[in-house]
Amino acid sequence: MALTLAEKILQAHIVKEACPDTEFVPGIPIRRGADIAIRIDQTLTQDATGTMTYLQFETIGIPRVKTELSVSYVDHNTLQTDFRNMDDHRYLQSVAAKYGLYFSRAGNGICHQVHLERFGKPGKTLLGSDSHTPTGGGIGMIAIGAGGLDVAVAMGGGAFHLAMPKIYGVKLTGTLKKGVGAKDIILEVLRRETVKGGVGAIYEYFGEGAQALTVPQRATITNMGAELGATCSIFPSDETTKAFLEVMGRSEAWTEQKADEGAQYDKLIEIDLSALQPLAAQPHSPDAIASIASIAGKKVTQVCIGSCTNSSLDDLAAVAAIVKGKHIAPGVEAGIAPGSRTTLLMAEKAGILGELIRAGFRILESACGPCIGMGFAPNTEGVSLRTFNRNFKGRSGTADANVYLVSPETAAAAAITGVITDATTLQYEDPSYTTEGRISLLTGTLAGLSSQAITGIATDDGMLIPPLDEAEASKVEILRGPNIKPCPPAPAFEEKLKLPVLLKAADNVSTDDIMPAGTKVLPFRSNIPEISKFTFERIDADFYKKAEAGNFSGCIVVGGENYGQGSSREHAALGPMYLGVRVVLTKSFARIHQANLINYGILPITFANPDDYDMISEGDTLELTNIEEAVTTGADFDIVINGAKGTKTIKGKNSMAERSRNIIKAGGLAAYTRAGGQ
């Protein structure tokens, strides 16, 4: 039978022994929703999630990573306001040396951009402790974001478990107009599908419009597929992918990857690229889409270009073409963070960097920076146009700022005019805007260089420290600073629970709401007791105090739809766990967060009848009477509400697969794995 590309790669990686009950016949589509276990070829971590990942990996007790390739990146927490950041980096470097990983030093760039350039391989699987790991789908990988503990297990050779996703086909036709970017394609998908439209699904792009996109353009789309709640997104690997890998000096990594003729999709979305207009995600959600034309003229105070979504050479070139010969408008502050050292050096050789500096951009470090609230916070009530992927309230560092997510073209247009501007209405030359132009930019020919010169830049891996051989690795001593504390254990399994509801939250709570990032909080990523004090700070500033008043002896959190969207940070499970949260009861969950809760022994339950959400008030007591039965058999939970609105027994849906239920019983994934669980 004809298979989609995603199905082909997943099938080639199935670990049958780890999912013995799932019916699997090679070449036949696997039932959607079935529990599957896949072999992971590559892993990546970044510094903000990496320390916990490796602290967990150390406790699993495996002497060397068992993947084909594992990389530890430093890109998030690079502000180094005191000893903590650099202590973390030195810990990560020593762990990489001890356990056989590559180490990408601070300054080398954002994990997803560097991984695409230096390590990604079509047809392989990649698991990363960052929700934007699906960027790798731009070169035909199945690249999935997960919690750090899942990545630690994969590094130890364990399979990654997931429910077989639905596969949505996205057929692209036509070509983009000048002034419209690849970002506008994913914003259009978000407009149609919303931030929860992709839960349990993979988006597979194809068609002649897809073929005409370069690898960095494709990667913009697969990157921001994370905001759909999707498992991942993928493009075929074709001649354009080959050209990209050749310039990166890695032609041997290329293989052709495509769907079988006649493959069937669970749903088909069609987008005519020639009809697409510039779009923006308005405050405060990536799916609050409006056309730029409808909001044009609004005053802008800040422009930020970069992040793992839009920081490639393509993006910098598109910006340079618009700002060439002009200056940043007086009312605007503009910053640009190239995605990697390779990109930065290529931009310098191509004369692009000079144009940006001359126009007045503040050149920021090749790192996440403002995207994760590490500096460059907007002014009070500021209007900030960002080429990033998330605009949750407060994430920029300024609680009342209005952040719009836009393409580099739109950001550049606003930077010079001072107001939201449709770049398609501007007169400018962009020699790189066609596919051929972008490829000749990448190969250096557009800038009068030889492709060897560009390959020379790309293959200078001086900031990547390769793994040591086993003899050398065994001599390495792991360096731990005083802020690095062991990961606290998950709570032991309990057969019954009777606990108060300490928080009732609304729909679309993000992991930024549960555990914020930014300059104040990120330095505590290696210290759960300290970071837990910030838990739910954005929703209820007194949450910590309330948990403390109850002696951290146990509580329940109630939420609406899509609870835990956004970042993969486990700290959004670890913080609540440390403060005694034992159950999270919602209308629905985002995939990665739900898995993180299970991994740390917290029960994720959904309302069988969503209207029961209205029955519960903060301060009510909920009694779970059949946990033992539910976790053993998969039955639904019986929950007795004792509260302000009376007493009622309701059903809580149990959507945990058998392995997840066993993890809960074992007291979390680390304990489960140590006991030999697969």
Interaction mask 271-310, ligand SF4, x per CB under 6 A: ------------------------------------xx--
Burial label for 171, CB within 10 Å (0-12, 13-18, 19+), is middle
What residue 569 binds from ligand SF4, ligand MIC, none (CB within 5 to 8 A, per partner kind)?
Answer: ligand MIC
C-alpha 293/C-alpha 278 separation (Å) is: 8
Residue 567 touches ligand MIC, criterion: CB under 6 A: yes
Q: How are beta strands 125-128 and 201-206 bridged, if at all?
A: unpaired
- Count of residues binding ligand MIC (CB under 6 A)? 13
Residues 6+ apart with CB under 8 A from 60: 152, 153, 156, 670, 673, 674
Number of H helices, E strands in the chain: 26, 26
Out of 11, 49, 93, 340, which residue is the one contacting ligand MIC (CB under 6 A)? 49
Closer by beta carbon to ligand SF4, 282 or else 389? 389
What sign has the CA pseudo-torsion 42, 47, 48, 49?
positive
Residues 664, 131: Cα–Cα separation, whole Å: 23
Residues, the chain: 678
Of residues 122-181, those binding ligand MIC (CB under 6 A):
130-132, 145
The pair of three-digit structure tokens given for residue 488, joined into one six-digit string: 């606290």
Pick the binder of ligand MIC from 241, 384, 417, 568 (CB under 6 A). 568
Q: Which residues of 192-212 are buried (b: 16+ CB within 10 A; e: fewer)?
A: ebbbbbbbbbbbbbbbebbeb
Cis bond upstream, residue 161 (ω within 30): no
Tell how strand 69-73 and strand 102-104 pair up: parallel
Query: Based on CB atoms, which residue is closest to ligand SF4, 110 or 346?
Result: 110
The option from ligand MIC, ligand SF4, none interacting with 396 (CB < 5 to 8 A, set by class) reads: none
* DSSP three-state, residue 68: coil
Minimum CB separation of residue 47 from ligand MIC in Å reads: 8
Whichever of 188 and 227 has its CB closer to ligand MIC, that residue is 227
* Residues 6+ away with beta carbon under 8 Å from 239: none
Distance CA(220)–CA(145), nearest Å, equals 16
Task: Count CB neighbours of 157 within 10 A.
Answer: 13
Site for ligand SF4 in 87-116 (CB under 6 A): 110
Q: Residue 340: which of ligand SF4, ligand MIC, none does it interact with, CB under 5 to 8 A by kind?
A: none
Which residues ranging from 368 to 397 are in contact with ligand SF4 (CB under 6 A)? 368, 371-372, 389
Which of 76, 250 has the CB closer to ligand MIC? Answer: 76
Is the CB of 142 or the CB of 224 nearer to ligand SF4?
Answer: 224
Choose, by CB under 6 A, the member of 124, 183, 242, 569 that binds ligand MIC: 569
Instruction: Write the interaction track for ligand SF4 spanning residues 542-571; mark x where CB under 6 A is met and - where it is not.
Output: ------------------------------
Residue 229 beta carbon to ligand MIC: minimum distance, rounded to whole angstroms? 13
3-state helix vs strand vs coil in the chain, percent to 5: 35, 20, 45
The Cα–Cα gap between 270 and 278 comes to 18
Distance, in Å, from the CA atom of 143 to the CA atom of 236, rounded to the nearest integer, reads 13
C-alpha 262/C-alpha 26 separation (Å) is 17
Nearest approach, Cβ of residue 389 and ligand MIC (Å): 7
Instruction: Give yes or no for residue 45 binding ligand SF4 (CB under 6 A).
Output: no
Rounded CA separation 211/205 (Å): 9
Q: In the complex with ligand MIC, which residue's Cβ is closer, 132 or 250?
A: 132
Compute and round to an integer the Cα radius of gyration of the chain.
24
Q: How far is the CB of 600 from ligand MIC (least distance, A)?
A: 15
Select 513 or 636, whichever has its Cβ closest to ligand SF4. 513
Site mask, ligand MIC, residues 460-499, x = CB under 6 A? ----------------------------------------
Tokens, residue 574: 């670890």
Q: What is the 3-state secondary structure (H, E, C) of 90-152?
A: HHHHHHHHHHCCEEECCCCECHHHHHHHHCCCCCCEEEECCCCHHHHHHHCCEEEECCHHHHH
**Closer residue to ligand SF4 in complex, CB, 84/132:** 132
Least distance (Å) between residue 68 CB and ligand MIC: 23
What does 110 interact with, of ligand SF4, ligand MIC, none (CB < 5 to 8 A by kind)?
Answer: ligand SF4
Distance (Å, rounded) from C-alpha 451 to C-alpha 249? 10
Q: CB within 8 A of 207, min separation 6: which ones?
A: 171, 172, 173
**Contact call for residue 76 and ligand MIC (CB under 6 A):** yes
In the complex, minimum distance from the CB of residue 247 to ligand MIC, in angstroms, rounded to a whole number: 27
Q: Does 403 bind ligand SF4 (CB under 6 A)?
A: no
- The C-alpha atoms of residue 304 and residue 548 are separated, in whole angstroms, by 39
Q: Is 522 in the site for ligand SF4 (CB under 6 A)?
A: no
Nearer to ligand SF4, 76 or 593 (CB): 76
Select from ligand SF4, ligand MIC, none the partner in contact with residue 307, using the beta carbon and a kind-dependent cut-off of 5 to 8 Å.
ligand SF4
Q: Which stretch binds ligand SF4 (CB under 6 A): 366-374, 488-496, 548-556, 644-652?
A: 366-374
Instruction: Choose among ligand MIC, ligand SF4, none what residue 49 binds, the Cβ cut-off being 5 to 8 Å by kind.
Output: ligand MIC
CB of 366 or CB of 599, closer to ligand SF4: 366
d(CA 17, CA 105): 37
Residue 307 vs 586, nearer CB to ligand SF4: 307
Report in angstroms how near the CB of residue 44 gets to ligand SF4 at its nearest: 10
Judged by CB under 6 A, the chain residues 148 through 207 that form the site for ligand SF4 are none
> Token match 């310039």: residue?
247
579 binds ligand SF4 (CB under 6 A): no
Nearest Cα to Cα of residue 607 among 554, 654, 556: 654
Q: Does 517 bind ligand MIC (CB under 6 A)?
A: yes
105 binds, among ligand MIC, ligand SF4, none (CB under 5 to 8 A by kind): none
The least CB distance from residue 534 to ligand MIC, in Å, is: 13
* Residue 568 binding: pick among ligand MIC, ligand SF4, none (C-beta 5-8 Å cut-off by kind): ligand MIC
Site for ligand MIC in 345-374 (CB under 6 A): 372
- Between 48 and 412, whose beta carbon lies closer to ligand MIC? 48
Stretch that binds ligand SF4, among 179-187, 367-375, 424-432, 609-617 (CB under 6 A): 367-375
3-state secondary structure of 642: strand
Dist CA 440 CA 543 (whole Å)? 55
Per the CB < 8 A criterion, the answer to whether 44 and 133 are in contact is: yes
Place of tokens 């007194």: 542
Q: Between the CA of residue 376 and those of 144, 225, 261, 337, 529, what are the distances in Å?
A: 29, 25, 48, 11, 28
Q: Which residues bind ligand SF4 (CB under 6 A)?
A: 76, 110, 130, 132, 307-308, 368, 371-372, 389
Q: Which residues bind ligand MIC (CB under 6 A)?
A: 48-49, 76, 130-132, 145, 372, 517, 566-569
